[in-house]
A and B are shown apart, each in its own frame.
Chain A
Amino acid sequence: MRIAQLRYEFRIASYMLVLMLGAVLSGSLTAQETKPSENHAGYIPAISGGLGYVHNVNGGITSLEPQINPVLLVPFGSHVLLESRTSFTGFFERRDLTSGPFTGKVFKEVDYAQVNWLANTHIIATAGRYLLPFGLYSDRLGPLWIRNLQDTPITATIGTRTSGSGDGFMLRGVVVQKPSYSVQYTAYFSALSNINQLQSARTAGGDVSIYFPRARLEAGTSYQRFLQDHEINSSATYISWQPSSMPLDIKVEGDYSYNGRGYWIESAYLLKQLPISQIFQRTQIVSRMQQFFPTNGGGNSLPTVNTNRFDIGLNYYFRDDLRFISSYGRTFSSHGNANIWNVGFTYRFLFPLWPGRTK
């Protein structure tokens, strides 16, 4: 029964892949036929991504975490893009946790390896391995050079089981766009995969959000149905606001799943408007508070007891792509309270793969 179901899913996935490839090829040909655009943008393959180093002390245990996450971008015309990101994350701790030499290993994982067909405003079709779009993290705030605090929220594992990525296909795009607002959507289906580096769960879900560009306010909701073992639902509701009058970034998200529910509120303020020396105007103050309440015993990478956490951070931008990061957090739970310190740096790189001319 199980094998028959797997064969059926494989057949469906094959059909979808063929359809996607057909669409991709037709899109590529269409792109070549279009007249030259009114700009001089080049479409040369590029390497982007981030690298960083975080010195973490959690409850008195020190860990050293160097990371590099290169992103390969290969366009085919102006409608088809192949993109992939691989994470290399080192994790080194003292042999006896608090004493002895540092030992550890480097973990590597393919976060995504996907082909995007940018058909039109309403449809961007994706096939391959992609980040599961759920809430504000994962798909958007995952890269270490983007996130304001290096530690992800407690609820970041909700809706991203089991690896944070899905293997299958995804559709996304803009439903409607007006000068005062736009509505975006995402829908996906992921198949079960146990292939090394490409693990994923059988899930389906989506996301809908509305964005008000004048107010720079976005509100959205995500849903996921986990389709293997215990079939469970997960949902998230979020708000993101960056007022144009001040360099403030506020993000709020509430998450719900079978294993628990929680929320987090994060604010980040860059001091560039304050009447202080320009050197200090590059400083960003970040704070986040969060609470999590387990249900049905918690688990699945979520705490098993009520947990509260507060973080405050200080980032300094040497340039837009290089910054010093630091934060202090404290976790409160019946398993014990703990202090968490992070100090390090992040760097975003972006360069062409080879020399070339613009259009």
Chain B
Amino acid sequence: MRLFLLCAYVLLFSGLFSTAFALGPELASAAKQQDTAAQGNTIGKPSGEEVFKANCARCHMPPMSLSPRITGTVVMHMRARARLSREDEKLLLKYLAP
């Protein structure tokens, strides 16, 4: 049992931490860029792109493209599944089918 737990934890987290340390400088740079972008949002509300990235990737790989003809249908479906707010739905629609 102990061996199983030890192996599992080591495998799970060693890859994660080694990757994090190896890419430390690049990740810090990316995070800084994101902070700058967030500060540039004058009204403090997320953009459609931010809502898209923050919510779609919670469960699955976000689609690369989406036909505008069914954007409304798909966003309704996702709003019901992911329990998104009406405001998030509006931002997503504006982002995906401007």
1/0 contact string of B49-89 vs chain A (CB within 8 Å): 01101110111111110111111111111011111111111
Q: A283 at interface (Cβ–Cβ under 8 A)?
A: no
In angstroms, how far is the closest chain B Cβ from the Cβ of A276? 12
In angstroms, how far is the closest chain A Cβ from the Cβ of B51? 8
In angstroms, how far is the closest chain A Cβ from the Cβ of B44? 5
Q: B15 at interface (Cβ–Cβ under 8 A)?
A: yes
1/0 contact string of A306-329 vs chain B (CB within 8 Å): 001010100001011100000000
Kindly state the separation between the CA atoms of A204 and B80 in the bound complex, as whole angstroms: 19
Are B11 and A118 in touch, CB under 8 angstroms? no
Are B84 and A174 in touch, CB under 8 angstroms? yes
Instruction: Name which residue of chain A comes closest to B98, CB basis.
Output: A39
Are A352 and B16 in touch, CB under 8 angstroms? no
Kindly state the separation between the CA atoms of A289 and B3 in the bound complex, as whole angstroms: 13
Are A41 and B68 in touch, CB under 8 angstroms? yes
Number of interface residues of B (CB under 8 A): 64
In angstroms, how far is the closest chain A Cβ from the Cβ of B66? 8
Instruction: Name which residue of chain B comes closest to A131, CB basis.
Output: B81
Instruction: Name which residue of chain A comes closest to B77, CB basis.
Output: A73
Q: A42 at interface (Cβ–Cβ under 8 A)?
A: yes
Kindly state the separation between the CA atoms of A5 and B76 in the bound complex, as whole angstroms: 37
Are A41 and B11 in touch, CB under 8 angstroms? no
Kindly state the separation between the CA atoms of A109 and B34 in the bound complex, as whole angstroms: 44
Pick the contact of A174 from B30, B44, B85, B98 — CB < 8 Å? B85
Pick the contact of B4 from A186, A244, A246, A310 — CB < 8 Å? A310
Task: Assign chain A's interface to a size class.
Answer: 35 or more
Kindly state the separation between the CA atoms of A348 and B60 in the bound complex, as whole angstroms: 11
Q: Tell me which residues across on chain A come within 8 A of B15, comparing CB atoms.
A: 267, 269, 285, 287
Q: Tell me which residues across on chain B come within 8 A of A245, comparing CB atoms.
A: 27, 30-31, 34
Pick the contact of A42 from B31, B53, B73, B83 — CB < 8 Å? B73
Q: A121 at interface (Cβ–Cβ under 8 A)?
A: yes
Are A81 and B62 in touch, CB under 8 angstroms? no
Kindly state the separation between the CA atoms of A332 and B8 in the bound complex, as whole angstroms: 13
Interface residues of A in 211-225 (CB under 8 A from B): 211, 213-214, 216, 218
Q: Tell me which residues across on chain B come within 8 A of A218, comparing CB atoms.
A: 58
1/0 contact string of A98-123 vs chain B (CB within 8 Å): 00000000000000000010101100
Instruction: Name which residue of chain B comes closest to A43, CB basis.
Output: B72
Are A37 and B93 in touch, CB under 8 angstroms? yes
Kindly state the separation between the CA atoms of A251 and B79 in the bound complex, as whole angstroms: 21
Q: A23 at interface (Cβ–Cβ under 8 A)?
A: no
Pick the contact of B80 from A116, A146, A320 — CB < 8 Å? A116
Are B19 and A274 in touch, CB under 8 angstroms? yes
Instruction: Name which residue of chain A comes closest to B48, CB basis.
Output: A39
Q: A67 at interface (Cβ–Cβ under 8 A)?
A: no
Among the 9-residue stretches A7-15, A51-59, A177-185, the one with 4 or more Cβ atoms under 8 Å from chain B is A177-185
Q: Tell me which residues across on chain B come within 8 A of A317, comparing CB atoms.
A: 61
- Sampled A-B contacts (24; CB under 8 Å): A37-B93, A39-B93, A42-B67, A43-B70, A44-B70, A46-B74, A75-B72, A83-B77, A118-B80, A124-B79, A140-B81, A172-B83, A177-B88, A179-B45, A211-B58, A213-B50, A213-B55, A216-B57, A242-B57, A289-B12, A320-B61, A320-B64, A350-B63, A358-B71
